[in-house]
A = this chain, B = another copy of it.
Amino acid sequence: MLKLYDFLESGNGYKVRLLLRQLGRDFERIEVDILEGESRTPEFLTRNPNGRIPVLELDDGTCLCESNAIQWYLAEGTDLLPDDPIERARVLQWMFFEQYSHEPYIAVVRFWVFAGQADQHQDEIPARMKRGYEALDVMERHLSHNRFFVADRYSIADIALFAYTHVAHEGQFDLSPYPALRDWLGRVQAQPGWIPITQA
């Protein structure tokens, strides 16, 4: 059976967990307490030398890392990843946008709050929040004339961007100026098989 090394509060872990549920795949979830350094133990580093969750372990022991790469692997051949070359490039485009222009700001500020580290990072937070809002601006502009990120249908690009956007308020981001984005959050939550981030 597939094994998912996960951390319940992690949006990156949640992407894969949500996708597995929506695809109806059975898996064993293994909680890795990243706050206690459990993703940096010598044993864990044999699964991911970069010391991060999520990791998906296949039946033969092969370990795949990086949330969006794992999503691509699992979604290939399903309705959650289009077949058209341009649409596939767009899915990747939004997933790279998420990891480069969104996650380091929105997820990281939320993590600092969650881990009780906001005080020690207070000098960095204003710049991170500015960049986070810039990412939300890009999303709002796109969603003001698109129902989903790619090809007018729900895909792993939506999962990638939903994961940390829907909990952005936990990092003190205010989503009230983003009506199209909030409507999209609702459309994602209405998808069959959707589970909240707190559900194992």
Residue of B nearest to A73 (CB): B89
Main secondary structure, interface of A, reads: helix
Which of B66, B85, B86, B93 contacts A96, CB < 8 Å?
B66
B92 and A142 contact, CB distance less than 8 A: no
Interface presence of A76 (CB below 8 A): yes
A155 interface hit (Cβ, 8 Å): no
Give A15 Cβ to nearest chain B Cβ, in Å: 12
User: Which residue of B has the minimal Cβ distance to A66?
Assistant: B96
Q: A21 in the interface, Cβ–Cβ < 8 Å? A: no
When each residue 136-178 of chain A gets 1 if its CB lies under 8 Å from chain B and 0 otherwise, what string results?
0010011000000000000000000000000000000000000
Q: In the bound complex, how far is the Cα of B113 from the Cα of A127, in angstroms?
A: 20
Contact (Cβ within 8 A) A93 B76: no
* Closest chain B CB from A171 CB (angstroms): 18
Is B72 touching A89 in the complex (CB atoms < 8 A)? yes
A200 to B11, CA, bound (A): 40
Partner pick for A69 among B58, B65, B96, CB 8 A cutoff: B96
Evaluate contact between A66 and B92: CB separation under 8 angstroms. Answer: yes
- Asked if A96 contacts B96 (CB within 8 A), the reply is yes
Nearest Cβ distance between residue A52 and chain B, in whole angstroms?
A: 8
Q: Does A39 make an interface contact (CB < 8 A)?
A: no
Tell me whether A10 is interfacial, beta carbon within 8 Å. Answer: no
With both chains docked as a complex, state the minimum distance between the C-beta of A106 and any C-beta of chain B, in angstroms: 14
